[in-house]
Amino acid sequence: MTDQSALISSAYSQALSVIESVEPRIAEATRKELADQRSSLKLIASENYASPAVLLTMGTWFSDKYAEGTVGHRFYAGCQNVDTVEALAAEHARELFGAPYAYAQPHSGIDANLTAFWSILAHRVEGPWLEKFGAKNVNELTEADWETLRGELGNQRLLGMSLDAGGHLTHGFRPNISGKMFYQQQYGTDPETQLLDYDLVRAKAREFQPLILIAGYSAYPRRINFAKMREIADEVGATLMVDMAHFAGLVAGKVFTGDEDPVPFAHITTTTTHKSLRGPRGGLILAQEEYASSVDRGCPLVLGGPLSHVMAAKAVALAEARQDSFRTYAQQVADNAKSLADGFLTRGAKLVTGGTDNHIVLLDVTSFGLTGRQAESALLDAGVVTNRNSVPNDPNGAWYTSGVRFGTPALTTRGFGHDEFDKVAELVVDVLKNTRPGSTKAGGASKATYELGDGVADRTHAASAEMLDKHPLYPGLELT
Ligand code: PLP
């Protein structure tokens, strides 16, 4: 055990004994969560393992501090240390991504997107409207003026990628607030290739004339040309918002450069900090200068008090992402996704878009005679943690689905490489080939129940354990 891992082991062991003295069931669940994460193949594309430094930063007294406002301009006294933290998080983000402006307050990806939407509305709709009527702010408006402005704000258009093509629910999906507060339309992918078709996006944008064009995804296994997306946005006068929540780590690690780096092209870029970026759970916004002052009003526009302990952890994670080792990691994430995809393809499986060039592999499980729900459950029984996902024009809908999404960021953090990911593909295909769809209580075909062949779970667990033991999670961390 190194000196540092001995210290970390001692810190966590002592912290858990303090928690134990108050609520032992939470201490027990925390210990169990570590054991579970250590012993399963975590292939959920939106998850990762943050470093002990990031995790430890979250467990401090910064959690107790209110700090509504912005750096140096707070609505509470005594925020000098929060100012240090927030300024550092923003500085690291600007430097890492080459962005003119960064805002570290959003509590999550959804909060970041909501903040971005309202910042765009403030900049593009409310600002010019107030100017036209000679008002400095909304407090100067009469009730009748305000009623008209409310109508203007509430009648704007948003164009984003559809959920079944890989978009996120905040990109205009009807059950989400983004699909309710905007008139929304969605662009899909080419029915043959399942790839993003920029001509289709352009045609939709010309017809729909959105205020906001969103690019970004949760389940699209390919890169996007953001120069082209900006060209389309400019042609129709839209604000280009890129949600890089999933692939921020690949941007930070310079795997996505040139036209594939969204930051220089988007007016506003949002992200989470906990997926491929490998930080704490949270959100972050990057913006061009012209949007900086609207985004800076995220609180009180949409947000309450920032989570100062999480902003501190964002600063630590962003500092880690600025190290050369993060570039090596990010490249390995992309290389491993290719190894996984090739492993599936050589074993006859069908992939959405036929492969990957990011960190996601989307397996179409219909050729195994299964729904996504059945495949996800059978894989979990065998210790392979994934999530089911729609495929384009999914015949099984968004609940049962026809796909399973795999991601490489977490296991790459553990040190998995080409051979391990090829083995993962072998194990997954073995499980799915040996899973039969079940039937309903009435004897009909079920989209949820399944039967896993004898011995499959055991042999998968054994083969996974061999790889996981070779690449321990938090090596040297031993809880007493
Ligand atoms: N945007 C995208 C593209 C995502 O994939 C996600 C999460 O899955 C989010 C936003 C929302 O992030 P959070 O869960 O932190 O709100």
Comparing CA positions, the residue from 172, 49, 125, 118 lying closest to residue 285 is 118
CA 358 to centroid of ligand 1, rounded, Å: 17
* Residue 135 pLDDT grade (very low, low, confident, very high; cuts 50, 70, 90): confident
210 with 223, same domain: the answer is: yes
- Which residues belong to the annotated binding site for (6S)-5,6,7,8-tetrahydrofolate? 163, 167-169, 289
* Residue 105 pLDDT grade (very low, low, confident, very high; cuts 50, 70, 90): very high
The mean per-residue pLDDT over the stretch 21-27 comes to 98
Comparing CA positions, the residue from 354, 42, 46, 371 lying closest to residue 217 is 46
Is 20 part of any domain? no
What is the position in ligand 1's atom list of the atom closest to the CA of 107? 15
Is 181 part of any domain? yes
- Which residues belong to the annotated binding site? 163, 167-169, 289
The mean per-residue pLDDT over the stretch 459-466 comes to 97
347 with 278, same domain: the answer is: no
Reduced to 3 states (helix: H, G, I; strand: E, B; else coil), residue 450 is: strand
pLDDT at 22 over 70: yes
Comparing CA positions, the residue from 225, 254, 251, 250 lying closest to residue 240 is 225
Rounded mean pLDDT of the chain?
Answer: 96
Reported as type and span, the H/E element at residue 285 is strand 283-287
296 with 365, same domain: the answer is: no
Number of domains in the chain: 2
Is 125 part of any domain? yes
The mean per-residue pLDDT over the stretch 233-238 comes to 98
Please name the residue whose Cα sits nearest to atom 11 of ligand 1: 109
* Residue 262 pLDDT grade (very low, low, confident, very high; cuts 50, 70, 90): very high
89 with 227, same domain: the answer is: yes
- 119 close to ligand 1 (CB < 6 Angstrom): no
347 with 418, same domain: the answer is: yes
256 with 367, same domain: the answer is: no
Comparing CA positions, the residue from 374, 385, 392 lying closest to residue 432 is 374
Is 478 part of any domain? no
Is 32 part of any domain? no
* Residue 403 pLDDT grade (very low, low, confident, very high; cuts 50, 70, 90): very high
Comparing CA positions, the residue from 238, 307, 314, 241 lying closest to residue 278 is 314
* Residue 136 pLDDT grade (very low, low, confident, very high; cuts 50, 70, 90): confident
CA 236 to centroid of ligand 1, rounded, Å: 27
CA 203 to centroid of ligand 1, rounded, Å: 27
Is 5 part of any domain? no
Residue among 171, 218, 251, 303 whose CB has most ligand 1 atoms within 8 A, to mutate: 218
- 170 close to ligand 1 (CB < 6 Angstrom): yes
59 Cβ contact partners less than 8 Å away, ≥ 6 residues apart: 15, 309
Residues β-bridged to residue 389: 403
* Residue 1 pLDDT grade (very low, low, confident, very high; cuts 50, 70, 90): low
349 with 425, same domain: the answer is: yes
* Residue 76 pLDDT grade (very low, low, confident, very high; cuts 50, 70, 90): very high
Reported as type and span, the H/E element at residue 120 is helix 109-121
The mean per-residue pLDDT over the stretch 222-229 comes to 98
The mean per-residue pLDDT over the stretch 262-285 comes to 98
* Residue 210 pLDDT grade (very low, low, confident, very high; cuts 50, 70, 90): very high
Task: Report yes or no: 281 and 78 within 8 Å, Cβ to Cβ.
Answer: no
Higher pLDDT pick, 114 / 138:
114
pLDDT at 138 over 90: no
CA 110 to centroid of ligand 1, rounded, Å: 6
Alpha carbons 13 and 261: distance in angstroms, whole number: 42
CA 272 to centroid of ligand 1, rounded, Å: 6
Answer with the one of 290, 321, 352 that is the final residue of a domain: 321
Q: What is the pLDDT of residues 296-348, one digit of tens each?
A: 999 999 999 999 999 999 999 999 999 999 999 999 999 999 999 999 999 99
Alpha carbons 121 and 130: distance in angstroms, whole number: 12
Which range of residues forms the domain containing residue 465?
324-470
CA 428 to centroid of ligand 1, rounded, Å: 26
375 with 309, same domain: the answer is: no
Q: What is the pLDDT of residues 55-66, one digit of tens each?
A: 999 999 999 999
Q: How many residues does the chain have?
A: 480
- 243 close to ligand 1 (CB < 6 Angstrom): yes
Residue % of the chain over a pLDDT of 70: 100
- 240 close to ligand 1 (CB < 6 Angstrom): no
Please name the residue whose Cα sits nearest to atom 12 of ligand 1: 109
Q: What is the CATH number of the domain that holds 384?
A: 3.90.1150.10
316 with 384, same domain: the answer is: no
Residue % of the chain over a pLDDT of 90: 95
Residue among 115, 170, 270 whose CB has most ligand 1 atoms within 8 A, to mutate: 170
pTM: 0.97
- 449 close to ligand 1 (CB < 6 Angstrom): no
363 with 464, same domain: the answer is: yes
Answer with the one of 304, 321, 338 that is the final residue of a domain: 321
176 with 227, same domain: the answer is: yes
Active site residues: 66, 68, 243, 272, 275, 281
Reported as type and span, the H/E element at residue 375 is helix 372-381
Reduced to 3 states (helix: H, G, I; strand: E, B; else coil), residue 109 is: helix
Q: What is the pLDDT of residues 143-193, one digit of tens each?
A: 999 899 999 999 999 999 999 999 999 999 999 999 999 999 999 999 999
Residue among 161, 168, 268 whose CB has most ligand 1 atoms within 8 A, to mutate: 168
* Residue 139 pLDDT grade (very low, low, confident, very high; cuts 50, 70, 90): confident
Phi, psi of 277 (to 5 degrees): -75, -20
Is 158 part of any domain? yes
Q: What is the CATH number of the domain that holds 199?
A: 3.40.640.10
* Residue 425 pLDDT grade (very low, low, confident, very high; cuts 50, 70, 90): very high
At residue 246's C-alpha, the angle toward residues 177 and 281, to 5°, is: 75
Is 229 part of any domain? yes
The mean per-residue pLDDT over the stretch 382-392 comes to 96
294 with 186, same domain: the answer is: yes
